[in-house]
Structure 1
Amino acid sequence: MRPVYPNYTIFSPTQSSQPADDYSPLTRKEFVRFLLATPTKSELRCQGLNFSGADLSRLDLRYINFKMANLRAANLTHANLSGANLERADLSSACLDGANLQGVKMLCSNAEGASLRGCNFEDPAGVKANMEGANLKGVDMEGSQMTGINLRVATLKNAKLKNCNLRGATLAGTDLENCDLSGCDLQEANLRGSNVKGAIFEEMLTPLHMSQSVR
């Protein structure tokens, strides 16, 4: 169950040393200072803020609202983004290797060219990560744990998903053209209506059944 926070804290650049009309990217130092000053039971709202190129690696970013935020080329390696809201956020060219993405919301986010190697999307509480409609062209998600993830109608063209755990994943209507799925576990995954043109299905852990994919 997602914890219920009684209070909301809105992070605004005006609360730091930045002028109100300054839209330059926020630095790690500024953000960490605000994180330390935020009550532990407050839900931090960073909707629409600019973190382009910022180093947010290894930070505790659980349940933060990054909806529509600019995280382009940001460093989020080994960050804890469990339960975070990244809907419609720009994560293009960002690095999230080894990040904790349990129960994350990434509906319609843009993560084109991002690296998500060895990420964990599996929430032990059963909350499914939702990446429906996301742009994941050319992403590298090799070795990620994605049991039950929702990737419906997402774009994964030219993506690398080697050795991923996709058991029970929803891939209905997903664009998997030229996607490398070698070594994946796709048991009980739903691939109905997905585009698998040029996709690689070598060394699969479990065989695909006709009922899983309808072209």
Structure 2
Amino acid sequence: MTQVNPRPLKIEVQNSNGEVTARIPQQLPDKDLEGCDLSGHDLYQAQLQGRNLKGAILYWGSLWNANLDGACLVDANMRGANLRESSLVGADLRNADLGHDAFGKGAWLQGAVLSKANLNRANMVGAFYDDETVFPAEFHPRRRGMIYAPD
């Protein structure tokens, strides 16, 4: 995986009601969050569709019910991230790491929609899913080391 140095930024992330859920320090262009360190941030219901998050650090980030449709998450560190009920339709997750965090837990994908997402070479070992998780056609979560964990 390519090492990307995180760079500071200032951005307000809003939920679907227009409420600001996160503020992070230096303004960047609307679509460019490449390499940013958003680890541990609460991005509940964030509207990040189509955003460039290549190489972003989302470790332990809460992206519950976020919209990441069409987002570029290539090489992103998403270990231990809460992606429950998030929409990642058509997102590019090539080489993304959704595997084990420091406590041996993967990303939480229960109820997430990953239809048409590119999961080539993404590390999914230890990530959690349930009956509501929607995967791309021909994707087999257990073969990729994912853990079935209904709520």
TM over 0.5: yes
1:121 to 105, 109, 114: 109
1:67 to 39, 49, 53: 49
1:145 to 125, 128, 137: 128
Q: Deviations over 1:95-115 (max 9, x none)?
A: 000000010100010000000
Q: Could you tell me which runs of 5 or more consecutive residues in structure 2 were left unpaired when the two chains were aligned.
A: 1-5, 22-29, 100-105
- Counterparts of 2:138 and 2:60, CA distance in 1: 24
Match of 2:24 in 1: none
TM (norm. structure 2) is 0.74
1:131 to 111, 114, 117: 114
Which segments of structure 1 move beyond 6 Å, counting only runs of 4 or more?
A: none
Superposition map of 1:145-184 within 5 A: 145-148=128-131, 149-153=133-137, 161-165=144-148
SS in 2 for 1:70: coil
Question: Between the two proteins, what is the percent identity of the paired residues?
Answer: 24
Task: Decide which structure has greater strand share.
Answer: 2
Q: Could you tell me which runs of 5 or more consecutive residues in structure 1 were left unpaired when the two chains were aligned.
A: 1-25, 123-127, 168-215
Task: Decide which structure has greater helix share.
Answer: 1
TM (norm. structure 1) is 0.53
Q: Which amino acid aligns with 1:57?
A: S
* Count of residues paired in the alignment: 128
- Counterparts of 1:73 and 1:29, CA distance in 2: 14
Superposed displacement of residue 27, structure 1? 4.8
The 1:97/1:112 distance shift into structure 2, 3 A limit, reads: same
Q: Deviations over 1:153-193 (max 9, x none)?
A: 2768xxx72252277xxxxxxxxxxxxxxxxxxxxxxxxxx
Superposed displacement of residue 42, structure 1? 2.9
RMSD: 2.9
